[in-house]
Amino acid sequence: MPKGIPKSKIEESIQVAKVVDPQIVETDKRITNLESSLEKITELVVNMSTIIEEGQRIAAETPAPTKTPVRDIEKEIEAEGTDSIPLPQKWVEAKNRLLGTDFTMEIKDVADGNFMMTVWLPDHLDRRVGDRTGKDLSTGLIRRTSALADVEVWCSRIAGNIKKNYPDFKPLN
């Protein structure tokens, strides 16, 4: 406000100017809208700051996740001198649940992006008749698109075949 002029006189002059010039009225509406928008933006910024501070507080209180060491699978396969691949944990869990921990499983990457699963039976469940050189084993194709389901199907089939010779078979866990 200019010094020396009473506030009421300034407001009165603004009212007279609004009647005389409609652009002043339009400008006044825009200023009012801008002030309202500015208040809303200020409120959003304050709320956003609160949310950021809360997120930082929670992050500071949350323990850091333990890092799983990254394995170089290709080097592991080279070191083993085989074309077998490391077994995914869920596949091992399915094998242990359906067959038992005394079974050995190997997966090889075969043509067309599928896997060949080989399961070696423990000696006490050998199903072979006659020559018993080597170990009793079963193989099955594991499709990449339904790998875990295929592992479960093959392990169930192996368990079913074992029960033909050993009706009391239960997985050793």
Q: What is the pLDDT of residue 80?
A: 54
DSSP-derived secondary structure for the chain: --TTS-HHHHHHHHHHHHHH-HHHHHHHHHHHHHHHHHHHHHHHHHHHHHHHHHHHHHHHHSPPPPPPPPP-HHHHHHHHTSSEEPPPHHHHHHHHHHTBTTSEEEEEE-GGG-EEEEEEPPGGG----S---S--EEEEEE-GGGHHHHHHHHHHHHHHHHHHH-TT---B-
> Which pTM does this prediction carry?
0.50
Kindly report, residue by residue over 52-79, the tens digit of the pLDDT.
888 888 888 888 777 666 555 555 545 5
Which range has highest mean pLDDT (2-6, 66-70, 104-108)? 104-108
Kindly report, residue by residue over 112-156, the tens digit of the pLDDT.
778 888 898 888 887 776 666 778 888 888 888 888 999 999 999
- Answer yes or no: is pLDDT of 98 > 90: yes
